[in-house]
C-alpha cells in the first residue's frame, strides 16, 4: 500500500509558524487590516462546524463515532519538532504530558523546601506545554478542535523522587510515618490544584481530568502493589490510594474528572483486583472517583475483543467513565521487520477490532468510553523502541511499530483503521488442516454475516481438500449452496488456476437450522506443509457470504483467498513389539511417518528420518529409522548430540506450558537418554539403538502414565530429529511443529489417534 500523508489543517500551519518563531499573541501575524478582519470573520464562522478537511482526523471521527476525545501522549521535546506538532494540533483534542506532570517533574531530583516545611513545586516543564497549546486553542473556536489535557499523574510509586518519602527529605534517612506522609500528599495535591485551577491560574480550563493514582494493583495477585513502592512501605495498605482520592476531591474543581489508571487492565486477576479497589475508593468517605483509565498497552493477540469488552463492562459497572489512556500495540511475536507492510496491515485490522469493540460498547450498550489516547505520536518516538519496564512493553528482541504514524509522521494503515477502514487491504485468514477425512478432528472455523452463519471443518488428503460446512440458514431457497475455491499453488493473483466445487442445498443434509454439506475439491499431489489458497462461499438466495474475499471475486482472482496450511495427522494402529533395536515383522506393515519440516535456523539438515508407531494398553512404541552419515554425540548439551525425540501430551489438553502428563523423551545415537517433564524419566521409557549402514535405528517403548489408551483415543504427539556434527546442532526436522517450540509448549504438538 502506498504511503498516504495526512492533510494538515491550514489553521494549525499558521499556529505552528507562530509557535516556532516564538511569536507571542501580541505579535501574531497581522497582514493588512481590511484583509485580516474579513478573513477572521469568515474563518470564525466556518470554524463553528466541522470542515471537509476535518473529516480525515481522529478527533472528528471519534467525536462522530462515540462522542469521545482523541488523545496523544506528548513530551516537551516535541514542541520544537514542527512536523510532529502539526500532527498533534491537527489530529487530536486531548494531550497527556509524557513526563512533565509526573511527581519527579514537579518535585525535582533534589528537594526545594519552602518556609512551611513542604517541597516547593516546579511547574516550568508542564507550563511550557500548556502555554503552547493555549496559543493554539486561541486560534480555533470549535470546542472539539481545542486541545485539553489529562493530568498524569498525582500519586505513583514510580518516577517519584525517593527523598519525598523520607525524614528531612533525605533518602538516606528512615521513611516518615504515615501521618507525615499524608500531610505531604495533601500539600502536594493542594499545590498542584492551586497552580492549575487557582484564581490566578491562566490554565483553569486546560486540564479536564487527572490520573489521581497510577498502577497501585499487583499483577500477580490483584492486591495492593508492594514491590518498589515506597507508598506501600509507609502505609502497608491501600490507604494511600483511597486518601489520594479524598484530597483530589477536596482540591480539584468539581467538573475535573478523577481517574484511577493501570496497565494489564484486561488480565483476569488484575481486573478483579482493580474492580475491588475502585469499589473501595467509591465507598471511602470524602473521596470522589469518576473514571477508570485502562492503559491499553496491548499486543497483536491479547486481549481478545471479548476480553476487552468484558473488562470495560466490569469497570463501567463501578465508575461513570472509561478512558483508554495509553493505547499502543506491540508487534507480532514473529515480526522481524522484513515485511513492514504486512505487519502494518495486520496491526491495522487489530486496531480496527478493538475500535469496533469501543463503538459497539458505546452505541449498543451505552457504555461511557470517553477517550482513546495513543501513547505517542509516531513509531519513531514510541517508548517501546527502548523501554522494557513495568507497564507492558517490548522485550527488546524485535522491531516495534506500535502507533498510527510511522517515524516520518506518515499515516499508516492503522490510522485508516479508525478514519476510513475501506482503505485497508482485506485481512487474509490463515488456518491449518490435518491430513484425515474425519471432519470431527478438524479445526472449527466460524464466521457470520447478517442472518447467515457458517461453521466449517477443513481437512485434506493428497487427492484434495475436504470441507465439511454447517450452514445456518432458515430460509430454504433453490439457489442456496456452498462453494469451496482452491488455488493450490497459492499464487494470489488475477487469472490464477482456480478449482472449485459447489454443493447445492438440495444435495446436502438438512439440519435443524439449515444444512450440512461435505465439499470435496479434488486436487493432485498435495503434500505436507504446502500452503494452498482457499475461500469458502455460502450462497443464500443470491446473497453471498465469503470467508475471506469479501468482494466476492473468487471466480476471477485468488488474491484475497485465505491460506490453508496442510499439516500431518497420525493414525496409530494397535500392536506390540520387543524393544531390541531390531525391526521385527510387526513393524513391516506400519505406515512410515516422514519428518519433513525444517525450521529456518536448520534449513538444510544432512540427516533424514522416518518413524513408525504402534500402541498397546501399556506402551506407545516408536521406531525411528535415521539416515545420518556423521554420528556425533560430542556436544556438551543433550540437544546438540545426534538424537531423536518423542513428545507426548497424553490428555490432549494442548497447554502453553508442560503439565504433569506432558513429556519429552530424547534418545541419542549412543542410546543415552534425556528427559523433560515431571514423568519423563527412566522408568517410563525403554529404548534400544542399533547402528545401521547409513545411520541408526531407535526402537522405544514409552509408558502411558496418565490415560488408559483405547480405540479412537486422541493425544498430542510430536517427533523430532536433531542432526549434529562437531559438537553442535546443524539441522533439525519435525513431524508437525513448525515453530520449534514443542520443548516448551505442548500446544504446538500435532495430533495422533489410536485405532484398534
SS3 of residue 183 by DSSP: helix
Angle between the N-to-C axes of helices 10-20 and 124-137, in degrees from 0 to 180, rounded to the nearest 10: 140
Q: What residues between 369 and 398 interact with Ca ion by CB under 5 A?
A: none
Residue 162 φ/ψ, nearest 5 degrees = -60, -30
Nearer of residues 185 and 752 to Ca ion, judged by Cβ: 752
Least distance from C-beta 617 to Ca ion, angstroms? 18
Question: Quick one: which segment of 90-98, 189-197, 550-558, 569-577 binds Ca ion (CB under 5 A)?
Answer: 569-577
How crowded is residue 213: how many other Cβ atoms within 10 Å of its Cβ?
30
Distance CA 277, CA 222 (A): 9
Total length of the chain: 756
Please report how close the Cβ of residue 541 comes to Ca ion at its closest, in angstroms: 5
Residues 40-79: x/- map of binding to Ca ion (CB under 5 A)? Answer: ----------------------------------------
Q: What is the spatial distance between Cα 538 and Cα 454, in angstroms, rounded to a whole number?
A: 8
Helix (H) or strand (E) holding 45: helix 33-47
Handedness of CA 333, 338, 339, 340 (dihedral sign): positive
Closest distance of CB 469 from Ca ion, Å: 14
Stretch that binds Ca ion, among 31-39, 153-161, 673-681, 719-727 (CB under 5 A): 719-727
Beta bridge partners of 368: none
Nearest approach in angstroms of CB 459 to Ca ion is: 23
For Ca ion, which stretch binds (CB under 5 A), given 227-235, 292-300, 362-370, 635-643? Answer: 635-643
DSSP state string for 266-290: TSHHHHHHHHHHHHHHHHSTT----
473 near Ca ion, judged by CB under 5 A: yes
Site for Ca ion in 242-301 (CB under 5 A): none
DSSP 375: S
215 carries an active-site annotation: yes
Q: How far is the CB of 49 from Ca ion (least distance, A)?
A: 46
| Active-site residue identified among 86, 98, 100, 215 | 215
Neighbouring CB atoms inside 10 A of 361's CB total: 20
Scanning 9-17, 114-122, 166-174, 640-648 for contacts with Ca ion by CB under 5 A, the matching segment is 640-648
| Gap between the Cα atoms of 48 and 171, Å rounded | 54
Residue placing its CB nearer to Ca ion in the complex, 465 or 508: 508
CB 90 within 8 A of CB 6: yes
Min dist. Cβ of residue 744 to Ca ion (A): 14
Q: Is 93 helix (H, G, I), strand (E, B) or coil?
A: coil
CB of 705 to Ca ion, least distance (A): 10
Residue of 276, 301, 288 lying closest to 216 (CA atoms): 276
**Given candidates 378, 549, 625, 628, which one binds Ca ion under the rule CB under 5 A?**
628
Take residue 251 and report the three cell numbers written for it.
482540591
Q: Pick the closer one to Ca ion by CB: 205 or 616.
A: 616
| Dist CA 266 CA 305 (whole Å) | 10
- Whether the CB-CB separation of 673 and 666 falls below 8 Å is answered with yes
Residues 3-42 that bind Ca ion (CB under 5 A): none
Nearer to Ca ion, 487 or 723 (CB): 723
Kindly state the cell numbers that stand for 40.
477572521
Least spacing, CB of residue 657 vs Ca ion, in Å: 10
Rounded Cα–Cα distance for residues 289 and 280 (Å)? 10
Angle at 87 between CA 82 and CA 92, to 5 degrees: 135
- The β-bridge relationship of strands 570-574 and 608-615 is parallel
Cis peptide before 531 (omega within 30 of 0): no
Q: Which is nearer to Ca ion, 373 or 646 (CB)?
A: 646
Residue 427 or 544 with smaller CB distance to Ca ion? 544
Q: In the complex with Ca ion, which residue's Cβ is closer, 420 or 656?
A: 656
Shortest distance in whole angstroms from residue 631 CB to Ca ion? 6
Query: For residues 748 and 740, what is the distance between their CA atoms, to the nearest angstrom?
Result: 8
Stretch that binds Ca ion, among 29-37, 240-248, 572-580, 748-756 (CB under 5 A): 572-580
Please give the Cα distance from 520 to 457 (Å, whole number): 12
Distance (Å, whole) CA 344 – CA 419 = 15
Which one of the spans 36-44, 178-186, 230-238, 582-590 is the region binding Ca ion (CB under 5 A)?
582-590
Q: 420 vs 448, which CB is nearer to Ca ion?
A: 448
Grid cell for residue 717:
504427539
Pick 190 or 697: Cβ nearer Ca ion? 697
| Residue 563, Cβ density class (10 Å: 0-12 exposed, 13-18 middle, ≥19 buried) | middle
Closer residue to Ca ion, CB minimum distance, 398 or 688: 688
Closest approach of Cβ 669 to Ca ion, in Å? Answer: 8
Contacts of 22 (CB under 8 A, 6+ apart): none
Binding-site size for Ca ion (CB under 5 A) equals 22
Q: What is the DSSP letter of 313?
A: H
DSSP E strand stretches across 523-618: 531-540, 543-546, 562-567, 570-574, 593-594, 608-615
**Which H helix or E strand runs over 510?**
strand 509-511
Choose between 168 and 477: whose C-beta lies nearer to Ca ion: 477
Minimum Å gap between C-beta 498 and Ca ion is: 25
Residue 661 CA to residue 614 CA, distance in Å, equals 20
Q: Smallest distance, Å, CB 50 to Ca ion? A: 42
Reply yes or no on whether 682 is catalytic.
no
Q: For residues 480-519, which are near Ca ion according to CB under 5 A?
A: 480
Contact 323, 371 (CB under 8 A): yes
Shortest Å, Cβ 534 to Ca ion: 23
- Judged by beta carbon, residue 183 or residue 580, the one nearer Ca ion is 580
Among positions 649, 696, 702, 718, the unique one binding Ca ion when judged by CB under 5 A:
649
Burial class for 516, CB neighbours closer than 10 Å (0-12, 13-18, 19+):
middle
Q: Which range in 40-48, 57-65, 263-271, 578-586 contacts Ca ion by CB under 5 A?
A: 578-586
Pattern 529-548, binding to Ca ion, x per CB under 5 A? -----------xx-------
Residues 651-710 that bind Ca ion (CB under 5 A): 651, 653, 659, 661-662, 699
Closest to Ca ion by CB, 169 vs 624, is 624
- The x, y and z cell numbers of residue 709, run together, are 489408551
The contact pattern for Ca ion, residues 177-216, with x = CB under 5 A and - = no contact, is ----------------------------------------
Sign of the CA dihedral with 211 first, then 214, 216, and 222 last: positive
Please identify which of the residues 100, 321, 326, 718 carries the catalytic annotation: 326
Of 5, 302, 475, 694, which one interacts with Ca ion (CB under 5 A)?
Answer: 475
Peptide bond between residue 540 and the one before it cis (omega within 30 degrees of 0): no
Distance CA(692)–CA(476), nearest Å, equals: 64
Which of the 8 DSSP states describes residue 198?
Answer: S
Stretch that binds Ca ion, among 100-108, 416-424, 461-469, 649-657 (CB under 5 A): 649-657
The residues that are catalytic are: 215, 326
Task: List residues near Ca ion by CB under 5 A.
Answer: 473, 475, 477, 480, 540-541, 577-578, 580, 582, 584, 628, 630, 642, 649, 651, 653, 659, 661-662, 699, 723
Amino acid at each position: 500500500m502506498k504511503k498516504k500523508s495526512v492533510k494538515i489543517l491550514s489553521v494549525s500551519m499558521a499556529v505552528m509558524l507562530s509557535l516556532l518563531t516564538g511569536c507571542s499573541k501580541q505579535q501574531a501575524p497581522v497582514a493588512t487590516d481590511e484583509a485580516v478582519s474579513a478573513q477572521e470573520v469568515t474563518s470564525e464562522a466556518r470554524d463553528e462546524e466541522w470542515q471537509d478537511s476535518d473529516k480525515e482526523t481522529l478527533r472528528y471521527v471519534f467525536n462522530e463515532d462515540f462522542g469521545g476525545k482523541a488523545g496523544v501522549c506528548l513530551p516537551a521535546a516535541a514542541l520544537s519538532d514542527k512536523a510532529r506538532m502539526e500532527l498533534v494540533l491537527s489530529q487530536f483534542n486531548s494531550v497527556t504530558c509524557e513526563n512533565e506532570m509526573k511527581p519527579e517533574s514537579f518535585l525535582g531530583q533534589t528537594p526545594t523546601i519552602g518556609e512551611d516545611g513542604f517541597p516547593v513545586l516546579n511547574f516550568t516543564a508542564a507550563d511550557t506545554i500548556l502555554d503552547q497549546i493555549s496559543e493554539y486553542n486561541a486560534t480555533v473556536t470549535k470546542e472539539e478542535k481545542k486541545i485539553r489535557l489529562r493530568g498524569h499523574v498525582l500519586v505513583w510509586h514510580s518516577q517519584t523522587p525517593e527523598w519525598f518519602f523520607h525524614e528531612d527529605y533525605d533518602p538516606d534517612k528512615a521513611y516518615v510515618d504515615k501521618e507525615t506522609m499524608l500531610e505531604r500528599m495533601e500539600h502536594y495535591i493542594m499545590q498542584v490544584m492551586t497552580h492549575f485551577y487557582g484564581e490566578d491560574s491562566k490554565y483553569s480550563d486546560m486540564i479536564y481530568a487527572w490520573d489521581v493514582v497510577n498502577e497501585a494493583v499487583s499483577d500477580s495477585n490483584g492486591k495492593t502493589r508492594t514491590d518498589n513502592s515506597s507508598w506501600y512501605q509507609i502505609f502497608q495498605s491501600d490507604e494511600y490510594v483511597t486518601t489520594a482520592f479524598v484530597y483530589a476531591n477536596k482540591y480539584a474543581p468539581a467538573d475535573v474528572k478523577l481517574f484511577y489508571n493501570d496497565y494489564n487492565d484486561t488480565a483476569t486477576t488484575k481486573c478483579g483486583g482493580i474492580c475491588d479497589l475502585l469499589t473501595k475508593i467509591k465507598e471511602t468517605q470524602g473521596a470522589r472517583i469518576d473514571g477508570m483509565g485502562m492503559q491499553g498497552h496491548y499486543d497483536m493477540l491479547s486481549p481478545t475483543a471479548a476480553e476487552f469488552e468484558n473488562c470495560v463492562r466490569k469497570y463501567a459497572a463501578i465508575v461513570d467513565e472509561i478512558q483508554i489512556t495509553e493505547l499502543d500495540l506491540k508487534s507480532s511475536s514473529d515480526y522481524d521487520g522484513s515485511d513492514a507492510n504486512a505487519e502494518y496491515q495486520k496491526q491495522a485490522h487489530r486496531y480496527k477490532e478493538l475500535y469496533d469493540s469501543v463503538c459497539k460498547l458505546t452505541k449498543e450498550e451505552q457504555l461511557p468510553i470517553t477517550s482513546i489516547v495513543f501513547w505517542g505520536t509516531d513509531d519513531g518516538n514510541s517508548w517501546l523502541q527502548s523501554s522494557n519496564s513495568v507497564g507492558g512493553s517490548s522485550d527488546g528482541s524485535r522491531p516495534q511499530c506500535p502507533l498510527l504514524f510511522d517515524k516520518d509522521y506518515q499515516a499508516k494503515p492503522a490510522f485508516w483503521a479508525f478514519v476510513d477502514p475501506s482503505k485497508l487491504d482485506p485481512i487474509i485468514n490463515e488456518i491449518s488442516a490435518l491430513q484425515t477425512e474425519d471432519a470431527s478432528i478438524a479445526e472449527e472455523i466460524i464466521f457470520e454475516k447478517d442472518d447467515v452463519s457458517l461453521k466449517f471443518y477443513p481437512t485434506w488428503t493428497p487427492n484434495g481438500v475436504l470441507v465439511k460446512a454447517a450452514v445456518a440458514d432458515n430460509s430454504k431457497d433453490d439457489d442456496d449452496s456452498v462453494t469451496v475455491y482452491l488455488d493450490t499453488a497459492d499464487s494470489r493473483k488475477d487469472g490464477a488456476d482456480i478449482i472449485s466445487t459447489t454443493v447445492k442445498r438440495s444435495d446436502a443434509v438438512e439440519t435443524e437450522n439449515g444444512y450440512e454439506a461435505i465439499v470435496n475439491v479434488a486436487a493432485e499431489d498435495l503434500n505436507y506443509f504446502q500452503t494452498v489458497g482457499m475461500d469458502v462461499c455460502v450462497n443464500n438466495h443470491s446473497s453471498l457470504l465469503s470467508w475471506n474475499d469479501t468482494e466476492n471475486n473468487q471466480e476471477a482472482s485468488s488474491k484475497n483467498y485465505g491460506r490453508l496450511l496442510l499439516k500431518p495427522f497420525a493414525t496409530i494402529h494397535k500392536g506390540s513389539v520387543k524393544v531390541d533395536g531390531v525391526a521385527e515383522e510387526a513393524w513391516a506393515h506400519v505406515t512410515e511417518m516422514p519428518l519433513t519440516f525444517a525450521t529456518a535456523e536448520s534449513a538444510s539438515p544432512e540427516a533424514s528420518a522416518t518413524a513408525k508407531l504402534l500402541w498397546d494398553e501399556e506402551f506407545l512404541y516408536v521406531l525411528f529409522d535415521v539416515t545420518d552419515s556423521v554420528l556425533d554425540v560430542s556436544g556438551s548439551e543433550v540437544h546438540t548430540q545426534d538424537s531423536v525425540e518423542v513428545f507426548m501430551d497424553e490428555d490432549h489438553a494442548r497447554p502453553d506450558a508442560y503439565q504433569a502428563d506432558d513429556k519429552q523423551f530424547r534418545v541419542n545415537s549412543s542410546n543415552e537418554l534425556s528427559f523433560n517433564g515431571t514423568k519423563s524419566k527412566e522408568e517410563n521409557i525403554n529404548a534400544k539403538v542399533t547402528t545401521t549402514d547409513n545411520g541408526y535405528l531407535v526402537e522405544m517403548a514409552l509408558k502411558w502414565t496418565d490415560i488408559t489408551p483405547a480405540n479412537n483415543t486422541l493425544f498430542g504427539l510430536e517427533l523430532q530429529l536433531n542432526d549434529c556434527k562437531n559438537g553442535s546442532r546443524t539441522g533439525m526436522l519435525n513431524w508437525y511443529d513448525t515453530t520449534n517450540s514443542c520443548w516448551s509448549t505442548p500446544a504446538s504438538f500435532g495430533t495422533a489417534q489410536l485405532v484398534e
